[in-house]
A and B are shown apart, each in its own frame.
Chain A
């Protein structure tokens, strides 16, 4: 056995050094510019100063952590996941997505979900450019279906829209940091939101498939139950319908007309879109309802399946009314309904769609 040297040899720092962590093959392939800092706190301050965070602290994206993220999704750093033609062909590579995912605080095992969500965002019919630039301050909502919810602890039960759940919080945040840092949806640059929205920090939740007797959002979008999917939905604004009636007919009427009221807009641009088939997004425009189990129990208990609820809401959206214009919904199937548990609250959320975007669902993994 060789004698132990008296002093540790000096380790050279080169541009591809991974810091104190070991370099993997993937780490050696990373091409993003390097930033040097004395310690994690200095790194975080540097990222704040450069405008690279959403205003909250970030996890410093070391090459080793970024490589772990990429390896967990089995994806090469240079793979292009999104390209936005209307922003001079800005590209989201897997490497840049992984860097932002690390910064968001995501675990490597979340990365396949984040990759699938990015691919959904990149679909031309989702029209990412529009709802990340708009004055309306639209929000990108990620809905997760399948067993991946249990594997990653993605909350679909009580409190699923709120803080306290790492997977929900960091998957949504990874997407939003990427939208900011890579796509330049930064106030003063491409983000021209007039008010913006707290849902733009992160909005990701699972659908409570276990509580719902109905087909899932993922099934409505053409996938099979049991498949892991992510659905990206762009919403302009949201409202809520609360009511503890046990009369299903009255309840669905309240939900439909409450949402119709929430659709009301005096904005001429929107009314132009509603009155005509002018928008190329109209046929695929979907109106998302997230219904708690208490409402679903009332509706299902009265024998209403999902199709019946969709048709009834469609009727509420399109019936003649003196003061409320018809909602620009192409067909009953464009009423999208997801379940979140919401124990003991007779509540349904309505997500007004961002008008120039269609929801897109992608398989995870």
Chain B
């Protein structure tokens, strides 16, 4: 008679249904004029500076115009999600969000 033992892992992460049921990426912005940009920094050194530099460079790209100032959010700690209100603003008031690190 075989010995029966139990799986010690979180099985939902490897379940066939989960792997088969993938989520699509967000669609591309409808146009590249007047783009509203969010900048979400994880708070590590240079994360905000990298995002500011990316925003400045993005404004220089032919065929892209940016709408005013970006919405800037810096998280309360590297390892926590943004505050719900910040998250809501980023979703509601931008066309896309750049997220950066400072590792």
- Chain A residues close to B by CB (< 8 Å): 11, 13, 17-20, 30, 32-40, 42-43, 47, 52, 60-63, 66, 85-86, 88, 90-92, 95-96, 99-100, 103, 127, 129-130, 133-135, 177-178, 181-184, 268-269, 271-272, 278-281, 356
Identity of the chain A residue whose Cβ is nearest the Cβ of B76 in the assembled complex: A280
CA distance A324 to B11 in the complex (A): 48
CA distance A1 to B6 in the complex (A): 40
Which residues of chain B from 19 to 53 have any CB-CB distance to chain A below 8 Å in the complex? 43-46
Identity of the chain A residue whose Cβ is nearest the Cβ of B4 in the assembled complex: A19
13 examples of A-B residue contacts, CB within 8 angstroms: A13-B2, A13-B4, A19-B1, A20-B1, A37-B2, A37-B3, A38-B2, A47-B5, A99-B6, A99-B7, A135-B103, A269-B44, A280-B77
Q: Is B8 an interface residue (CB 8 A)?
A: yes
Q: Is B60 an interface residue (CB 8 A)?
A: no
Contacts of A91 in B (CB 8 A): 10, 12
Contacts of B5 in A (CB 8 A): 34-35, 37, 43, 47, 60-62
CA distance A182 to B6 in the complex (A): 13
Identity of the chain B residue whose Cβ is nearest the Cβ of A93 in the assembled complex: B10
Identity of the chain B residue whose Cβ is nearest the Cβ of A41 in the assembled complex: B3
The answer to whether B6 touches A32 (Cβ under 8 A) is yes
Task: State how many angstroms separate the Cβ of A251 from the closest Cβ of chain B.
Answer: 35
Known: A96-B10, A272-B45. A36 touches B81 (CB 8 A): no
Contacts of B2 in A (CB 8 A): 13, 19, 36-38
Q: Pick the contact of A184 from B13, B78, B81 — CB < 8 Å? A: B13
> Could you give, for residues 83-103 of chain B, a 1 whenever the CB lies within 8 Å of some chain A CB and a 0 otherwise?
000000000000000000011
The answer to whether B81 touches A86 (Cβ under 8 A) is yes
Task: State how many angstroms separate the Cβ of B67 from the closest Cβ of chain A.
Answer: 29
Task: State how many angstroms separate the Cβ of A277 from the closest Cβ of chain B.
Answer: 10
Task: State how many angstroms separate the Cβ of B18 from the closest Cβ of chain A.
Answer: 10
The answer to whether A11 touches B1 (Cβ under 8 A) is yes
CA distance A52 to B11 in the complex (A): 13
Which residues of chain B from 49 to 80 have any CB-CB distance to chain A below 8 Å in the complex? 76-80
The answer to whether A127 touches B77 (Cβ under 8 A) is yes
The answer to whether A127 touches B80 (Cβ under 8 A) is yes
Contacts of A42 in B (CB 8 A): 3
Identity of the chain B residue whose Cβ is nearest the Cβ of A95 in the assembled complex: B6
CA distance A135 to B44 in the complex (A): 13
CA distance A38 to B5 in the complex (A): 11
Task: State how many angstroms separate the Cβ of B41 from the closest Cβ of chain A.
Answer: 11
CA distance A62 to B7 in the complex (A): 10
Known: A182-B10, A269-B45, A272-B45. A63 touches B4 (CB 8 A): yes
Contacts of A47 in B (CB 8 A): 5, 8
